[in-house]
Structures are given as C-alpha cells and as structure tokens.
Structure 1
Amino acid sequence: MNYVLENIPERALKPREKGLTMVMDKGLSLREVEDVLETSGDYIDIVKLGWATSYVYPKLEEKIKIYKDAGISVYFGGTLFEAFVVRNQFDDYRRVLDKFGLELAEVSDGSLEMPHDIKCQYIRQLSEQVTVLSEVGSKDAEKIIPPYKWIQLMTDELSAGAWKVIGEARESGNVGLFRSSGEVRTGLVDEILTQIPYEKIIWEAPQKAQQVWFIKLMGSNVNLGNIAPNEVIPLETIRLGLRGDTFDHFLNNEWK
C-alpha cells in the first residue's frame, strides 16, 4: 500500500482460499487485459471468460498466457461446458481444457436441464483432470429454487469434488441469489450459511450494493464473483472499509 492506515481489515494473501475476487472477462482485448493487470492484478484471483466468448475470441491462447503469467487462474464460463454437453461432446470439452492448459473448469446447469446426479458425475470426472467450480442456480428468472434445495445441491456438488460452489446471479445480478430488482434474497443466503461454510461459496455479485451487502454480512474475505474489470479496485476499497458504503463497518474506536 502507498501509506499506512490503522484499523484496516486483514485480507487473506494470495494464493487465497477465501476473499477471492473472480472477474468476468466478456471479450477484453489483449491490451485491455494488460492494462487491467497493471492496475488491479494484485487483487484478482480468478478470471472467467464469460459464457462461450472463448469460442469466438480471436487471440485466446495469447490472452490465457497473459493471465497465467500474472499468476491468475482462468476458466471458461459454464455455458460453454453446457454447450459441449448438450451436443454430446464432453470428451471434446476435456480435450479443449488440455489444449489451452486450463487448470480450472466450471460445471453448471443454468441453461440446460440436467439431472443432478449426472451433473455430479461430470464434477467427479472433471475433478480428476482440473480444479472444479460448480455453479448452483438457474439463469431463468422465473425459476425459484427453495433454500433447502440450494443447500442440498451445494452439499452434493462439494462432496462430488467441487473446490467451490458458485451462487448464480448472471452478469446482471438479477436472478438466482437476487430478485429482479437486484435485491439480495436475504433469507436464502442466511439459510445457505447455516449449512455451507462461507469460504466454500463464491457469490456472484456484479452490483456494488450486492458487494456491500455480502461484505457487511461475512467480512472482507468473502468470495465475490462476476466483478467487472474496472470495478476491481473499487471493490477492494469496499472490502477495506475505505469507501462510504463500508466506511465505519470495520472501525473499532470512538468514531464508529
């Protein structure tokens, strides 16, 4: 840091198991990636190449190398996994992961109807090859999953070999964990946390108000995902109580 401030929350150090910031790359140019890493690389843990953008991106190998050289793990969005599976190309998907040297993969069923035991089977198979992130929740705003079901799905997927489970919100933050307005389904989150350790969950939270809510509930080292590249440093200041939204949350003196 550039100077000293007291009463700043202690952040987990990289490589982190908690306090992860997962960034959504929706098609940044190589130069844009380099610019993001120059300013924010220290605060980025994982980058998701959104949905199936990796299929059409023209310089994919070069982009992945830039991230990996910076010590940042990269993975393809879960929609790409689903696109391979629905076409009976799962083995091809595994070969693609090897071709691009990826160490992370996302297993999701947000767009594809898939029996849960089959999803867990995919998690088991992929976990023999890479570190698996599994996403829970639907991209369909009309599909409401009750809290007990979220807990069951997360528990089963962690047991199947997922490193972390991702709470679905999409890039817009208005499905899954959130209402269409972007408001957090607070009862759902509270219920999930009675059974699933917070450090095992990456909460997709693209909107600032959502990030603030999770940080106030679980602290600076909550795992947050689907963060826009230009929001990484603002998010870090929220984590540290250095933005108005969390300014007094971490203070422990008479000014609090």
Structure 2
Amino acid sequence: MNFELDNVPERTKKPRTNGLTMVMDKGLSVRQAEDLVAVGADYMDFIKLGWTTAYIVPQLNEKLAVYRDAGVHPYFGGTLFEAFVIRNQFDDFLRVIEKYGLEYAEVSDGSIALPHEEKCRYIEKVAQYATVISEVGSKDNTKIMAPYKWISLMKAELEAGTWRLIAESRESGNVGLYRESGEVRQGLVDEILNEIPSEKIIWEAPLKSQQVYFIHLIGSNVNLGNINPNEIIALETTRLGLRGDTFHNFI
C-alpha cells in the first residue's frame, strides 16, 4: 500500500485459496494483458479466457506467458470444454490442456445438455490433467433451478474432484444466481451457504451491486469471478471498505 490506514480488513495474500478474484478476458491483446497485470497482478488470482476466445485469439502463448509471469493463473472458459465434448473430441480437449501447460481447467454444461453423472465423470478425467474448476448453473435464463438442485449438483461435483465451484451468472450477470434485472436471488444464495462452505464457491459477480452484496454477506475475502479487467482496482477498494458502498463495514 502507498500509505497507512487503520481499520482496514486484512486480505489474504497470494497465492490465495480464499478471497480469490477471477477476471474475465474477452479478447485482450498481449499489450493489453501487459497493461492489465502492471496495475492488477497483486489483486488477480485467475484470468479466464472467456467462453471459446482461446480458439481464435492471436498470440495465445505469448498472452498466457504474460499472465503466468505476473503470478496470475490463466485458464480457458468452460464453453470451450463443451465445444469439444459436443463434437466428440474430449481427448483433443485434454491434449489442449497439455499443449498449453494449463494448471487449471473449467468443466461446465451451461450451453449443452449433459447428464450430471456424465459431467462428474468428465470432472474425474480432467482432474488427472489439471485442477478442476466446475461451473454450476445454466446460461439459459428460462431454466430456473430450485435451490436443492443447485446444492445437489455442487456436492456431487465436489465429490468428483472439483477444487472450486463457479456459481453461474454469465458475463452479463442476469442468469443463474441473478434475476433478469441483475438482482441477487437471495434465498438461493442463503440455502447454498447452509450446505456448501463459502470458500468452495466462486460467485460470478460482474456487476458492482453484486460484488457489494457478496462482500456485505461474506466479507472481504469472498471469492468473486467474471470481473471486468477495468474493475480490478475498484473491486479491491470495495473489498477493503474504501469505497462508498462498503465504507462503514470495517470502521
């Protein structure tokens, strides 16, 4: 920090297992990635190359190296896993993990219909190659799952070998955990937290109001995902109670 302030909550230090921030890269250039880590590396733990952008983005290896050198773990969005699976190319997906030396891999079923037992088998297989982060929830806003279903799926995926669960919201923040307006489904969140340890969940929260909600609910060291690259510093000040929305949390 650049100067001293009293009554600022203690944040977990990197390498973190809790208080994680996952940032969404929707197609940044290598130069933009360099600028991003220059200001945000201390506050970023993971960067997800969103959905299937890794398939077409230029200078992929160079960009992955920028993130790794800054101590930020890159991984590819779960939609890429789904794109391989629906084409019966799962073994090719595993080869991609190996080719790019990915330490983390996302397994999801937000865009395809995948029996949950089959998804769990994929988690078990991918876990032999990389640490698995699995996503729960649909990208289809017409598919509303009851809380007990979320909990059942989450427990099964943890048992299958998932390291952290992502609670789905898309990059728009208006499905899954949230109503179409972006409002948090508070009853759903409360029921999940009654059954699943909060440190096991990365809550996708692209909107400031959603970030503030989870910081109020769980604290500075809540795991948050789908953060816009331009919002990393802003989010960290919110975590520390140094922004109007959380200013009185820690005084």
Q: TM-score, normalised by structure 1?
A: 0.98
Runs ≥4 in structure 1, deviation > 3 angstroms? none
Q: For residue 90 of structure 1, what is the amino acid of its counterpart?
A: F
Q: Deviations over 1:204-241 (max 9, x none)?
A: 00000000000000000000000000100000000000
Q: Which residue of 1 aligns with 2:154?
A: 154
Q: What aligned pairs does 1:1-256 form with structure 2 within 5 A after superposition?
A: 1-251=1-251
Q: CA deviation at 1:199?
A: 0.3
- C-alpha distance in 2, partners of 1:210/1:56? 31
Q: CA deviation at 1:46?
A: 0.2
Partner of 2:37, secondary structure, is helix
- C-alpha distance in 1, partners of 2:118/2:51? 21
Partner of 1:24, secondary structure, is strand
- C-alpha distance in 2, partners of 1:23/1:194? 27
Partner of 2:214, secondary structure, is helix
The answer to whether the 8 Å contact 2:212/2:238 transfers is yes
Structure 1 segments unaligned to the other structure (5+ residues) = 252-256
- C-alpha distance in 2, partners of 1:250/1:168? 29
Q: For residue 31 of structure 1, what is the amino acid of its counterpart?
A: R
Q: Quick one: percent identity of the two aligned structures? A: 66
Count, aligned residues: 251
Q: Deviations over 1:6-25 (max 9, x none)?
A: 11011011111110000000
Q: CA deviation at 1:58?
A: 1.2
RMSD of aligned Cα (Å): 0.4
Q: TM-score, normalised by structure 2?
A: 0.99
Q: Deviations over 1:62-84 (max 9, x none)?
A: 00011111111111000000000
The answer to whether the 8 Å contact 2:97/2:129 transfers is no
Q: CA deviation at 1:180?
A: 0.3
Structure 2 segments unaligned to the other structure (5+ residues) = none
